[in-house]
Amino acid sequence: MKTIFESSVTGREGCWPCDGMAEETYIPKELLRGGEIGLPSASELDVVRHFTKLSQRNYGVDGNFYPLGSCTMKYNPNSLKSWLACPVHAPASGTAAIAGRGRTLSGRARSHVRNRAAAGRDHRHGRLHHAPHGRGARRTDRRHAHGRLPQGQGQQENQGHRARLRARHQPCIRRHRRI
Amino acid sequence: MDCANASVYDGGTALYEALMMAVRKTKRRKVVVSEALNPIYRVMLDSYTTNLDIELVTVPHKDGMTDIEGIKAAIDSDTAALLVQNPNFFGSINDFTDLFSAAREKKAVSIISSYPVLQTLLKTPGEMGADIAVAEGQSLGLPLSFGGPYLGIMTCTKKMVRQIPGRIVGRTEDTKGRTGYVLTLQAREQHIRRQRATSNICSNQSLCALRALVHICTLGEQGLKRAARLSVERAHLCAERLTAIDGVEMLTKGPFGNEFAVNLPVNAYDAIAKLTERGFIPGFPLGRYYEGLDNGLLVACTEKTSEEQIGIFAEMLKGRSNEDDIRIIRNRT
Q: Please report the DSSP string for B210-227 in residue order.
A: HHHHHHHHHHHHHHHHHH
A–B CB contacts, 8 A cutoff, strictly below: 162
Most distant CA atoms of chain A, gap in Å: 70
**Is the distance from CB of B145 to CB of B7 less than 8 angstroms?**
no
| Chain B nearest-CA residue for A33 | B123
| Cβ-based burial of B239 (10 A; exposed 0-12, middle 13-18, buried ≥19) | buried
Give the residue-averaged pLDDT of B263-282. Answer: 86
Residue closest to A22 by CA, chosen among B258, B146, B97 = B258
Chain B CB contacts of A11 under 8 Å are: 220, 222
Please give the average per-residue pLDDT across B117-126, as a whole number: 92
> Which neighbouring-strand residues pair with B259?
B300
Most confident listed range (A112-116, B48-52, B188-192): B48-52
pLDDT number for residue B72: 93
Higher pLDDT, B250 or A80: B250
Helix/strand/coil (H/E/C) assignment for every residue in chain A: CCCHHHHCCCCCCCCCCCCCCCCCCCCCHHHECCCCCCCCCCCHHHHHHHHHHHHHCCCCCCCCCCCCCHHHHHHCCCHHHHHHHCHHHCCCCHHHHHCCCCCCCCHHHHHHHHHHHHHCCCCCCCCCCCCCCCCCCCCCCCCCHHHCCCCCCCHHHCCCHHHHHHHHHCCCCCCCCCC
For residue B256, is pLDDT > 60?
A: yes
- Asked if B219's CB is within 8 angstroms of A17's CB, the reply is yes
Which residues of B, range 218-277, sit inside 8 Å of A by Cβ? Answer: 218-224, 226-227, 229-230, 232-233, 236, 255, 257, 269, 272-273, 276-277
B170 or A146, which is more confident: B170
Predicted pLDDT at B304:
87
B88, B94 contact by CB (below 8 A): yes
Contact indicator for B8, B152 with CB cutoff of 8 Å = yes
Nearest CB partner across the interface for A4, out of B94, B217, B255: B217
Q: B205: pLDDT confidence band, cut at 50, 70 and 90?
A: confident
Asked if B58 and B89 count as a contact pair (C-beta separation under 8 A), the reply is: no
Q: Residue B191's pLDDT is what?
A: 76
Give the distance, in angstroms, between the CA of residue B131 and the centroid of all CA atoms in the same chain: 16
pLDDT the model gives residue A178: 47
Residue B145 has a pLDDT of 78
pLDDT > 50? residue B192: yes
- Pick from A58, A95, A106, A112 the residue to mutate for testing the B interface (most B CBs within 10 Å): A95
Q: What percent of chain B has pLDDT over 90?
A: 62
Residues in chain A, pLDDT under 50: 90-142, 144-145, 149-158, 170-179
Return the amino acid letter for B309.
Q
Tell me the nearest-neighbour CA distance from A69 into chain B, angstroms: 15
Q: Do B121 and A99 touch (CB under 8 A)?
A: no
Distance separating alpha carbons of residues B265 and A156, to the nearest angstrom? 53
Higher pLDDT, B207 or B324: B207
> CB neighbours (10 Å) of residue A159?
13
Q: Is the pLDDT of residue B19 over 90?
A: yes
CB B241 within 8 A of CB B310: yes
The complex's ipTM works out to: 0.82
User: Which residues in A lie closer than 8 A to residue B92 (C-beta atoms)?
Assistant: none
Query: Which pLDDT score, from 0 to 100, does residue A93 have?
Result: 47
Structure letter (DSSP) for residue B123: P
Note whether A83 and A123 are within 8 A (CB).
yes
Q: How buried is B182 (Cβ within 10 angstroms: 0-12 exposed, 13-18 middle, 19+ buried)? A: exposed
Query: Would you call B6 an interface residue with chain A, using a CB distance cutoff of 8 Å?
Result: no
Phi, psi (5° rounding) for residue A27?
-115, 135
pLDDT tens column, B302-321: 988 888 889 888 888 887 66
**Residue B96: predicted pLDDT:** 94
> Average pLDDT over chain B, rounded to whole?
89
Q: pLDDT tens, B87-96?
A: 999 999 999 9
Task: Judge: A14–B223 Cβ closer than 8 Å, yes or no.
Answer: yes
Query: Can you give the pLDDT at residue B325?
Result: 61
Give the span between the Cα atoms of A169 and A148, in whole angstroms.
14
pLDDT in tens, B284-307: 999 999 988 999 999 999 988 888
pLDDT at residue B22 in the model: 95
Pairwise CA distance, residues B188 & B198, whole Å:
5
Average pLDDT over residues B276-282: 82
Q: In the prediction, which pLDDT does B118 show?
A: 93
Q: Is the Cβ pair B123, A101 closer than 8 Å?
A: no
Backbone angles phi, psi at B172, to 5 degrees: -145, -175
